[in-house]
Structure 1
Amino acid sequence: MVGPVDTRTADDVVAGVDLTGVRAIVTGASSGIGVETARSLARAGAQVTLAVRNTDAGAATVRDIGGGDVSRLDLADRASVAAFVERWTGPLHLLINNAGVVVSRLTRTPEGWELQFATNHLGHFALALGLRPALAEGARERGSARVVTVSSTAHMRSPVVFDDLHFERRPYDPQAAYAQSKTANSLFSVEATRRWAPDSIVANTVNPGGVATGLQRDFTQQQKDYLAAAEAAGAFVYKTPQQGAATTLVAAVAPEYAHSGGHYLDNGREARLVENDADLFTNSDGVKRWALDPEAAQRLWKVSSELVS
């Protein structure tokens, strides 16, 4: 059974929270949930850097939310990630891996990587790895640093297929590719917390729920039909972008997650664990075991490190 829907907004979550002195990065902060995440952080007093591909759109967002900095970042471009890390100076207290892409046909990076996996997981992995010293410095300042990565109910459609990460042998299915990247997002948080907890850096994963954003513009008709069926079955209720950003803000500011990581949050709370064969429509507020599997998380970290090094 799907649990009750949390209708709080991101602003509701940060109400009464003082983030003065907190330096935060939000990827993909020029549209959708990313804008509202940055807006609520800024309203709470955080110094927010918008990491975006389109810096003109980022500048417009800064004007809209009333403050912040803009820095270019293309997660599918290794040089762009490295340049962003190089430009960053000083401590970092909060990294929000919000950006994501959806594609309807097989697209590869220059390295030959499948684009959704490369952007949604590998780009964020390389970014977090490069910013680890800044996060450790931020943790020394404030007692902890947090990494929040946005996943999706779609993770329930596929584990990480280590034998064919980039669809070199199996037929390409854009839904399966996206799902694999979202499972990878969760596994990253599991292993990042295990490795980085001694530095008081914790990582958690969130599911924003159903939010109509520009991410759906490249959906295939099959993907649109599946989404419509899921909504009709009551698997999710559409939220506004401000409501969709709420769970991100819970992971970012709630005291219970200051020193506790490796969790998958849904509707503002830790999701219930469901079996890998669980039906998505009736378990959309859960997290599958394959997305929290510590062995898979360690294996993914090793593979990812080899790819981006």
Structure 2
Amino acid sequence: MSHRATRLTTPFGRTSSADDVLRGVDLAGRHALVTGANTGLGRETARALAAAGASVTVAGRNADAVREAARAIAVATGNPRVDHLVVDLADLASVDAAVGGWSRPLDVLVNNAGVMAVPELTRTRQGHELQFAVNALGHLALTLGLHDALARSGDARVVWLSSNAHLFSPPVLGDLDRRFRPYDPLLAYAEAKAATALLAVETDRRWADDGIRAQACNPGAIATGLQQHTGGLQTPVERRKTVPQGAATSVLLAASPLLADVGGRYFEDCDEAEVRHESPGLFGTGVADYVLDTRLSALLWDQAVALL
């Protein structure tokens, strides 16, 4: 386990937008893939990267939606280098097909897509619990499949979107698919988002020598389609963000030169988060010490790969 005494901070904060973070940054020659990029935070992340000159692949499960999003982003940014990729993270066969067709180097992978608080226990075609499957397992399959493309970059970044919900519980090793425990929608979401943070730590630990650095982030409380099963955003008004503000931390980790050669950390509000050694309570912030534990991250990675 390793916790750093000094937190990384940037000139940006909770109210900074994605465009603020990338102002003056030239991403020409860089290629980014953003999952769940047809709507919400993913779409804004893809738009901001394209506006800074990157070529961008808009990835999502609905062919018409990702095609239209890619077209709209290209028009809005004046950047014609925006394409789309159809991939359903809940279906490992779809992920395999997507990575099997990928041939070019990849500089940035933003594992943004997610589902939250699915009311009833739902299993994927391969039998995995849906929230863990989409938020963590499907993204791990995608990331593993794109390893060589990322390595060809020589200076690649992987961003895993987590949530402050990870503070509610670590993933339960040995029962990642919830076959022995009663299903609780919010707890399943919390464990899945803790898993994404741990997978970021382990991606960085295993792949930094390949020129691939990875981070996790909490985008904050933003009203998007993610809250469709919770009756909307429940966070107090003073803690809420706009979509451009919510995408700022993702974009910072994906492309800012301020974080060159940095990895294995967890950010929120554009700064490295404060480590919590006990629960900060409902709507709390910070990063739980357990998602920075490399012993736990290694075990989770091995168990998740075995599920694949």
TM-score, normalised via structure 1 length: 0.90
Superposed CA offset, 1:218-250 (max 9, x none): 22x6xx6xx63x427x6xx11111110000011
2:122 counterpart (97, 102, 107)? 107
Helix, strand or coil at the partner of 1:51: strand
Superposed CA offset, 1:122-166 (max 9, x none): 000010001000000011xxxx10000111011111101113222
1:58-97 map, 5 Å: 58-66=66-74, 67=80, 68-97=82-111
Q: Equivalents in 1 of 2:102, 2:177: separation in Å? A: 31
Q: Equivalents in 2 of 1:250, 1:125: separation in Å? A: 21
Match of 1:280 in 2: 281
1:7-18 map, 5 Å: 7-18=15-26
Match of 1:257 in 2: 259
Supply the AA of the counterpart residue of 2:33: I
CA contact 2:25–2:256 (8 Å) conserved in 1: no
1:1-309 map, 5 Å: 6-66=14-74, 67=80, 68-102=82-116, 103-139=118-154, 144-219=155-230, 228=234, 230-231=235-236, 237-275=239-277, 277-281=278-282, 284-308=284-308
Q: Equivalents in 2 of 1:164, 1:196: separation in Å? A: 26
Helix, strand or coil at the partner of 1:280: coil
Superposed CA offset, 1:55-74 (max 9, x none): 21112212221241011000
Supply the AA of the counterpart residue of 1:168: R
CA contact 1:193–1:203 (8 Å) conserved in 2: yes
Q: Equivalents in 2 of 1:302, 1:255: separation in Å? A: 32
Superposed CA offset, 1:240-286 (max 9, x none): 111100000110122242211111000001000001x322337x220
Q: Equivalents in 2 of 1:293, 1:231: separation in Å? A: 30
The unaligned stretches of length 5 or more in structure 2 are 1-11, 75-79
Give aligned pairs, total: 290
Superposed CA offset, 1:157-176 (max 9, x none): 11011132222121110101
TM-score, normalised via structure 2 length: 0.91
Helix, strand or coil at the partner of 1:164: coil
Question: How big is the alpha-carbon RMSD for the aligned residues of Structure 1 and Structure 2?
Answer: 1.5
Supply the AA of the counterpart residue of 1:107: T
Helix, strand or coil at the partner of 1:95: strand
Supply the AA of the counterpart residue of 2:264: G
Greater share of helix: 1
Superposed CA offset, 1:173-228 (max 9, x none): 01010011100111011111111011110000011100000011122x6xx6xx63
The unaligned stretches of length 5 or more in structure 1 are none
The farther-off stretch of 42-51 and 62-71 is 62-71
CA contact 2:170–2:190 (8 Å) conserved in 1: yes
Question: Once superposed, which parts of structure 1, at least 4 consecutive aligned residues long, lie more than 4 Å away?
Answer: none
Q: Equivalents in 2 of 1:13, 1:28: separation in Å? A: 21
Supply the AA of the counterpart residue of 2:193: K
Q: Equivalents in 2 of 1:31, 1:175: separation in Å? A: 22
CA contact 1:122–1:304 (8 Å) conserved in 2: yes
Supply the AA of the counterpart residue of 2:134: T
Supply the AA of the counterpart residue of 2:241: K
Deviation at 1:5, TM superposition (A): 5.8
Q: Equivalents in 2 of 1:183, 1:126: separation in Å? A: 17
